[in-house]
Structure 1
Amino acid sequence: METDQVKLGWRDRGRSARLQANHAFDLEDDADRKIDGTTTLDLSLSQRTDVGTFSLGVQNLLDESYSTVWGQRAAMFYSPYYGPDYLYDYQGRGRTYSLTWSMDY
């Protein structure tokens, strides 16, 4: 699977921000089976304070709904012989948040 990443960031002494785009390209195999590519955006923010550094992350910022490459391939190989498509169509994770605190001592 061919992928591409683009990052845009900003940083000063106590703060940082980064927006990252992750893109997986559409594919087609020798049997003309197609895999749909996806694009997701991730955001990272951090702030240094007297009591440590606080960071906030948002993965899949736009809450893009998509089938993973594995899910699309599995549906091609296993359905309908071992069950319907939806049994193998593994969906990518929706919007996910992370909040962290770190301190140097």
Structure 2
Amino acid sequence: MQANHNFDLKDDADREIDGNTTLDLSLSQDTDFGTLSLGVQNLLDDRYSTVWGQRAAMFYSPYYGPEYLYDYQGRGRTYTLNWSMAY
């Protein structure tokens, strides 16, 4: 289990950036036929705007388009399944 946390920030112009926390889970099992691994990123499927997405919206909106064009969202829950074998 791994947690990634971004703290809330405030710049010199009193603009705020909201932080977030995501949890990742990684499991692996050695077998007679190699190693099987399973991963789940953003385990709780939190919806959040990336730090850059929040800053870009501050810098570019409304001059270059509406805020939603620059509000980049973080990746949702993602699964990985791997198999490896040493020979």
TM-score bracket, normalised by the shorter chain, equals: over 0.9
SS of alignment partner, residue 86 of structure 2: coil
CA drift at 1:49: 0.3
Q: Higher strand proportion, which one?
A: 1
Per-residue CA shift, 1:26-78, capped at 9, x if unaligned? Answer: 00000000000000000000010000000000000000000000000000000
Structure 2 residue 73 is the aligned partner of structure 1 residue 94? no
Structure 2 residue 41 is the aligned partner of structure 1 residue 71? no
CA drift at 1:99: 0.3
How many Å separate the matches in 2 of 1:66 and 1:24? 11
Give the aligned partner of residue 84 of structure 1. 66
SS of alignment partner, residue 72 of structure 1: helix
How many Å separate the matches in 1 of 2:17 and 2:37? 35
Runs of 5+ unmatched residues, structure 2: none
Q: TM-score, normalised by structure 2?
A: 0.99
How many Å separate the matches in 1 of 2:59 and 2:28? 43
Asked which structure has the greater RCO (Cα within 8 Å, sep 6+), the reply is: 2
Give the aligned partner of residue 12 of structure 1. none
How many Å separate the matches in 1 of 2:38 and 2:2? 14
Runs of 5+ unmatched residues, structure 1: 1-18
Q: Provide the identity percentage.
A: 84
How many Å separate the matches in 2 of 1:100 and 1:24? 28
How many Å separate the matches in 2 of 1:61 and 1:22? 11
CA RMSD in angstroms, aligned pairs only: 0.3
Q: TM-score, normalised by structure 1?
A: 0.82
Give the aligned partner of residue 40 of structure 1. 22
How many Å separate the matches in 2 of 1:57 and 1:100? 9
How many Å separate the matches in 2 of 1:77 and 1:23? 24
